[in-house]
């Protein structure tokens, strides 16, 4: 039987009590909820609930982007930027890969610059979850901070991108990266072009 938090009308405490009663724990983020089987060697996914409000485009070849910290604890900051790879993107957020370790904090606002279908894009968001890849780079889930007009424009652009990607794995005039290791490596000659 598939067990989800929705069966408990959003009552997470009842859901957690059930999980503990059957030897499981609940691992939650703003994007997804798992019912995990506790084990000394590993955690086994028993259930996954996607709680995204918007579609996502899984990119077969990642987009390159420049990332910088824009705001911390409500104060604007000016720092250098680093290269990141956009693994998936939607009107509500994106998933990135980076060599930089950052905390999950809603008061840490990041700025991303990339190019999609000939348009230079500037997006702001906060980290809502993090993970690590097998080769020790960091994965982050980013929730965008945008108004509805910006979201509508982004949705239109992403719909066009999705159509282009159906025919080819790389869309024209976009900042796709084929050598992820070289792009993520921190060097002066490898600064993001956006």
Domains of the chain: 5-50 (no CATH), 57-188 (2.40.10.220)
This prediction's pTM:
0.69
**What is the sign of the dihedral through the CA atoms of 39, 44, 49 and 52?**
positive
CB proximity list for 151: less than 8 A, separation 6 or greater: 91, 92, 144
pLDDT score recorded for residue 112: 97
Contact predicate 34/15, CB 8 Å = no
pLDDT score recorded for residue 36: 35
Q: What is the mean pLDDT of each run of 10 residues along the chain (194 residues)?
A: 45 51 43 34 39 79 94 90 94 94 93 96 95 89 94 94 86 88 73 52
Of the candidates 140, 147, 113, the residue with the CA atom closest to the CA atom of residue 126? 140
């Amino acid at each position: 039987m598939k067990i989800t938090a929705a069966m408990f009308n959003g009552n997470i405490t009842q859901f957690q009590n059930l999980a503990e009663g059957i030897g499981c724990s609940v691992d939650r983020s703003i994007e997804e909820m798992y019912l995990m089987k506790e084990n000394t060697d590993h955690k086994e996914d028993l259930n996954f609930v996607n709680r995204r409000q918007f579609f996502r485009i899984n990119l077969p070849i990642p987009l390159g982007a420049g990332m910088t910290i824009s705001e911390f604890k409500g104060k604007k900051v000016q720092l250098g930027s680093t290269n990141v790879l956009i693994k998936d993107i939607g009107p509500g957020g994106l998933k990135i890969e980076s060599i930089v370790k950052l905390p999950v904090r809603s008061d840490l606002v990041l700025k991303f610059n990339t190019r999609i279908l000939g348009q230079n894009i500037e997006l702001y968001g906060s980290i809502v979850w993090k993970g690590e890849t097998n080769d020790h780079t960091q994965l982050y889930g980013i929730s965008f901070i945008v108004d509805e007009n910006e979201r509508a424009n982004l949705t239109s652009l992403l719909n066009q991108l999705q159509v282009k990607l159906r025919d080819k794995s790389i869309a024209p005039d976009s900042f796709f990266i084929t050598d992820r290791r070289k792009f993520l490596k921190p060097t002066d000659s490898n600064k993001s072009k956006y």
